[in-house]
Amino acid sequence: MSTPSLTDALAGADVVICAGPGGVGKTTTAAAVAVHAAASGQRACVVTIDPAKRLADALGLEALGNEPHPVEGPWGDGGGLWALMLDTKSTFDTLVRRYAAGPQQAGAILSNPFYRNISGALSGTQEYMAVEKLYELHDEGRFDLVVVDTPPTRQALDFLDAPRRLMRFLDNRIFRVLMMPTRAGLRAVNVATQLLLRVISRVVGGEVVGQALAFFTAFEGMEQGFRDRTDRVEALLRAETTRYVLIASPRAAATAEACYFARRLAAAGMGVAAVVENRVFPDYGPPPPGIDTPKAAALPNSRSLSALLANAAELHRVATSEARHIRALAAATPGARLVRVPFLTDEVHDLVGLSEVAAHLFPGS
């Protein structure tokens, strides 16, 4: 049996989506996958959401801008690494400009206060813009591989629904009502809806309702463009060449979230190509036969030996407990490659560290 590796799982992929709960090293893993591709001679781009500062520095992500920029490194022939940190608002702005009938319509939307709030406050916008950016980069054809990190949101896993959710928001019948220009229109809606509108006005103030109205008015005519785009983005999410890597850590909460995500993907007809378990404790096996901590403790001059035995027993205990979580996630992701990445000697904050992670993800290549 060969050492588990992501190599087979990602063969032929042109998009890799890294998903999983927060705090398990998702960004680092995504960057390491791109580093490996670049080192293997591919043109790879990594889209990150919220990198830790030192990793961001290492990838040159200090610079503003929503476009990929090259990262110097020992890349293979013809290969290269590009990185970008997602700017949700600027991605959304680009989308609006693309589908607006002209600069006037685009300007009316972009300057609307309600629109400006959408990028920051509407749940799912960041997720949608991550896949939107992914689609744009893939569509341009500049890269052999685009690796995307998904946002550390509360559910951490909702980006699959994000395109639909945004469309639902833009289609909401409440807004249709808001857009009816005359009082006659208002009279036509039922009493319950009128009450709802009054409540909104009372809670948030008439000014805000006015801004929302202006936004939806300005947006009129663009829905079809957005809808078509959404369909294409969804098609990319389902493409055979798009692979999902589920990143977890063998802890109870992380495993529960990762299993949930695996079920969601399966329900959407998509499979998990690989599972990466990060920060796995080493297992040096059970304590040696014939001697254990209590026995040793009863011996004279055994303080050092007792400590050594206690340590081995504790590490074995946590490794055993982690193994149960790893098995549970493996059972929830039939057919997926499983790769374990141990606790690393130090935190990853440069290309050398990323290469070390890549060596665990793609051993022997």
Partner 1 sequence: MQPRAFCSQSTVVIVAGKGGVGKTTVAATMALMAARAGRRALVVDVEGTAALPALFGRDAPLGYEPVTLEAASDGSGPVIGRTLTPDDALAEYLDDHGLRRVSKRMTATGTLELVATAIPGIKDILVLGKVKQLEQAAPSQGTDLIVVDAPAAGHAVGFLATARGLLDAIGVGPIRAQSADVLDLLTDPRRCQVLLVTLPEETPVNEVVETAFLLEDRVGVKLGPVVVNGMIPVLDLPDDVAGAAAEAGVVLDPAARGALSAAARFRRHRQELQARQVERLAGALPLPQLRLPFLWTTELGRPELGALADALAGAVTDLPDAEPPETAQPPETTQPPEPPVTGTPEPPNDAGPPA
Query: What residues numbered 262-291 form the site for partner 1, per CB under 8 A?
Result: 282, 284-285, 288, 291
Would you say 269 and 160 are in contact if contact means Cβ atoms under 8 Å apart?
no
Would you say 130 and 87 are in contact if contact means Cβ atoms under 8 Å apart?
no
Rounded to whole angstroms, the Cα distance separating 309 from 339 reads 29
Report, in Å, the least distance between residue 126 CB and partner 1: 11
Per-residue x/- track, 306-325, partner 1 (CB under 8 A): xxxxxxx-xx-xx--xx-xx
The span of 40-48, 83-91, 126-134, 164-172 binding partner 1 (CB under 8 A) equals 164-172
Report, in Å, the least distance between residue 257 CB and partner 1: 9
- Tokens matching residue 283: 């297992």
Which residues, at least 6 apart from 214, have a Cβ–Cβ distance to it below 8 Å? 108, 112, 114
Contacts (CB under 8 A) with partner 1, residues 51-70: 52-53
User: Between residues 180 and 315, which has the closer beta carbon with respect to partner 1?
Assistant: 315
Contacts (CB under 8 A) with partner 1, residues 225-264: 249-254, 256
Would you say 122 and 163 are in contact if contact means Cβ atoms under 8 Å apart?
no
- Nearest alpha-carbon partner for 159 in 192, 130, 121, 184: 130
Report, in Å, the least distance between residue 177 CB and partner 1: 11
SS3 274: strand
Report, in Å, the least distance between residue 362 CB and partner 1: 24
Contacts (CB under 8 A) with partner 1, residues 83-122: 114, 117-118, 120-122
Contacts (CB under 8 A) with partner 1, residues 16-35: 21-24
Choosing from 60, 70, 73, 152, the residue that interacts with partner 1 (CB under 8 A) is 152
The span of 45-53, 95-103, 137-145, 223-231 binding partner 1 (CB under 8 A) equals 45-53
The DSSP 8-state label assigned to residue 141 in this structure reads T
Would you say 158 and 128 are in contact if contact means Cβ atoms under 8 Å apart?
no
Dihedrals φ, ψ of 147, to 5°?
-110, 125
Cβ-based neighbour number of residue 267 at 10 Å: 9
Choosing from 296, 332, 341, 358, the residue that interacts with partner 1 (CB under 8 A) is 296
User: Between residues 207 and 228, which has the closer beta carbon with respect to partner 1?
Assistant: 207
Report, in Å, the least distance between residue 263 CB and partner 1: 15
Report, in Å, the least distance between residue 334 CB and partner 1: 22
Would you say 248 and 329 are in contact if contact means Cβ atoms under 8 Å apart?
yes
Rounded to whole angstroms, the Cα distance separating 168 from 163 reads 9
User: Between residues 263 and 317, which has the closer beta carbon with respect to partner 1?
Assistant: 317
**Count of residues near partner 1 by CB under 8 A:** 77
- 167 contacts partner 1 (rule: CB under 8 A): no
Would you say 146 and 80 are in contact if contact means Cβ atoms under 8 Å apart?
no
Four-residue CA torsion sign, 345, 339, 19, 255: negative
Choosing from 327, 347, 352, 365, the residue that interacts with partner 1 (CB under 8 A) is 347
Burial class from Cβ neighbours inside 10 Å (0-12, 13-18, 19+) for residue 72 reads: exposed
Report, in Å, the least distance between residue 181 CB and partner 1: 18
User: Between residues 173 and 183, which has the closer beta carbon with respect to partner 1?
Assistant: 173
Choosing from 11, 12, 77, 173, the residue that interacts with partner 1 (CB under 8 A) is 173
- Nearest alpha-carbon partner for 214 in 129, 98, 105: 105
